[in-house]
Amino acid sequence: IKYSIGCWECLRCASDSKDVDQTPPSIIKKTGESVDKEIRCSHSIPSYQVILWYKQDKHKALKLLGYLNLEYPNIEEDVKGKISFEGDGRQQSTLTVSNLTVDDSAVYFCAASQHSAAEYPEVSTKTL
């Protein structure tokens, strides 16, 4: 699946891929709690070394949170301190969302890519 067919279309179509797995399918938390490494993404694509994380809010806007290139996280400036992730982009990553507010209620997507975050991911999945 090529990403050029449109961001949402690619994510929707690729969510059934067996190459990328994201768990759990949903999480329910209270305001003030944290999602501490509970959202997990893994892939089995040998040549891919990047895992990207996205958030889709209630308005359906898709926002890049950052990416993990090999073992090096690159978090977008406006979510630093709120979002963190760790792991190895060649295999797996976990996402943490700290001190939850109503604005954190969203669909969180992970995607695997062969390239940097400036390129388009080719396979992805999601957690509600």
| pLDDT tens digits, 41-85 | 999 998 899 999 999 988 888 999 999 999 999 999 999 999 999
* DSSP three-state, residue 18: coil
Q: What is the pLDDT of residue 89?
A: 95
* DSSP three-state, residue 119: coil
Q: What is the pLDDT of residue 58?
A: 82
* Burial class (CB within 10 angstroms; exposed 0-12, middle 13-18, buried 19+) of 103: exposed
Q: What is the pLDDT of residue 2?
A: 24
Cis-peptide into 73, omega within 30 deg: no
Q: What is the total count of domains within the chain?
A: 1
Residues of the domain holding 41: 3-127
Q: CA 56: distance to chain centroid?
A: 10
* DSSP three-state, residue 100: coil
Q: What is the pLDDT of residue 61?
A: 84
Q: CATH number, domain at 58?
A: 2.60.40.10
In this structure, how many other beta carbons lie within 10 angstroms of the beta carbon of residue 78? Answer: 10
Query: What would the DSSP string read from start to end of 25-93?
Result: S-----TT--EEEEEEEEE--TT--EEEEEEE-TT--EEEEEEEETTEEEE-GGGBTTEEEEEETTTEE
